[in-house]
Amino acid sequence: MNDPIARCLGMSGDDATERVLRRLRPWIETETPSGHVDNIVALSRRIEDELDAIGGVVEAFDAPRLGRNLRVTFHGDQPELEHLLLLGHIDTVHPIGTLQHQPWRVFQDRAEGPGIFDMKGAIAVAVEALACIAGRHLRPRRTVRMLITCDEEIGSHGSRDLIAECAAEAGVAIVPEPALPDGSAKTRRKGVGTYRMEAHGRAAHAGIDPRSAVSATAEIAHQVLACLALADPAMGTTLNIGTIGGGTASNVVAAHAWATIDTRFVEPAEGDRIDRALADLAPRLAGASVKVNRNELRPPLVRTPQVAALYEQAREVAAGLGVVLGEGATGGGSDGSLVAALGVPTLDGLGPRGGGAHAADEHILLSDLPFRVALMVRLLETF
């Protein structure tokens, strides 16, 4: 075999692609929106069986009202080294029934289905890489702890303690979240903060007694403008009012109104600034009250010298497979940011190329799968 990818895998690229697709199809056809416990548990058990079959030591952790998290250990050749943490999640944003209009489909250079890009396809690649190593009766260089969580899409609240526990003794972390569109790894991620803002006033008839009323919708309008003024585009800090609502009828001055806020930031200090500013918002109208509750705060992935060094190693590995691996940044968050914030060198965005994350055309590129499996094999052997 002259092809370096085929030599790495011990099989043709077509065979590697077929193995990933066989593994992946039943995962896609088990719809796992965040919070759908039965389906998430069912898929978790299926993946557990597959990992057990290739020599993984599996531990399961029930997450009440969320599903089930898996931690799988593959012992390495150098057990004295800190372990490698491999992170993934099986929950998706697609509701039950999405398969009816967005079924599993393979055509031309695409495989499609809900959650295939973010990130079931990437987990299938990682499992296939571990299977390739086990099939040659080899071990990864470090002990690998693969953590597959069930609630990343809704903030990882039920898995954060487990993520922190696994990160505590990790020497390096790999996150096969989707690659950038050109296939590049992600060495920077924005932090994410999500909030719900509520305003309370006093209801009254809009035509008969408006002077005794305090409009919560007017208050929320003032607060929305105040929130948007906190953005600092030059620093990469953005705020978005995603949803807004309130009131009961057009002829009633609203007693209650609300809005949801999404914040993104490059620097941790900017996240702290926005968090403090939202907590300190004061009502603008006499008699009104306003309160902001934080739902999620996920730190940014900062391109530290350790992250840069990790990328350079991966770039050299990819070059040995005949592929140029770039690097870049994204505005989306991942559990990799949580691990990186704990001081673990983390390389993100190592999943297969594709597109349509969270959308109706979610897909991965078949032609990229052999490289992604081979890259994961080499990283597990050398990191």
What CATH number did the domain enclosing 245 receive? 3.30.70.360
**Which of the listed residues 243, 268, 298 is the one where a domain comes to its end?**
298
Backbone angles phi, psi at 46, to 5 degrees: -65, -45
For residues 132 and 270, membership in a common domain is answered with no
For residues 106 and 196, membership in a common domain is answered with no
Q: Region 129-157: what's the mean pLDDT?
A: 96
Residue 180 DSSP label: P
Per-residue pLDDT, 217: 98
For residues 203 and 314, membership in a common domain is answered with no
Average pLDDT, the chain: 97
Q: What range defines the domain where residue 246 resides?
A: 191-298
pLDDT tens sequence across 47-88 = 999 999 999 999 999 999 999 999 999 999 999 999 999 999
**Which of the listed residues 273, 298, 323 is the one where a domain comes to its end?**
298
For residues 322 and 228, membership in a common domain is answered with no
Provide the β-strand partners of residue 266.
Answer: none
**Which of the listed residues 298, 325, 340 is the one where a domain comes to its end?**
298
DSSP state letters, 230-281: T-BGGGTBEEEEEEEEE-S-TTEE-SEEEEEEEEEESSHHHHHHHHHHHHT-
pLDDT tens sequence across 156-194 = 999 999 999 999 999 999 999 999 999 999 999 999 999
For residues 153 and 34, membership in a common domain is answered with yes
Per-residue pLDDT, 2: 67
Return the H-helix or E-strand segment holding 55.
Answer: none
For residues 104 and 18, membership in a common domain is answered with yes
For residues 305 and 324, membership in a common domain is answered with yes
Return the H-helix or E-strand segment holding 205.
Answer: strand 204-205
Determine the length of the chain.
383
For residues 254 and 313, membership in a common domain is answered with no
For residues 178 and 223, membership in a common domain is answered with no
Per-residue pLDDT, 86: 98
For residues 328 and 305, membership in a common domain is answered with yes
Q: Does the pLDDT at position 231 exceed 80? A: yes
Per-residue pLDDT, 317: 98
Rounded to two decimals, the pTM is 0.93
For residues 117 and 206, membership in a common domain is answered with no
pLDDT tens sequence across 321-349 = 999 999 999 998 899 999 999 999 999 99
Number of domains in the chain: 2
1 confidence band (pLDDT: 50, 70, 90): low
In this structure, what CATH number is given to the domain that contains residue 53?
3.40.630.10
Per-residue pLDDT, 165: 97
- Other Cβ atoms less than 10 A from the Cβ of 381: the count is 18
For residues 12 and 151, membership in a common domain is answered with yes
Per-residue pLDDT, 91: 98
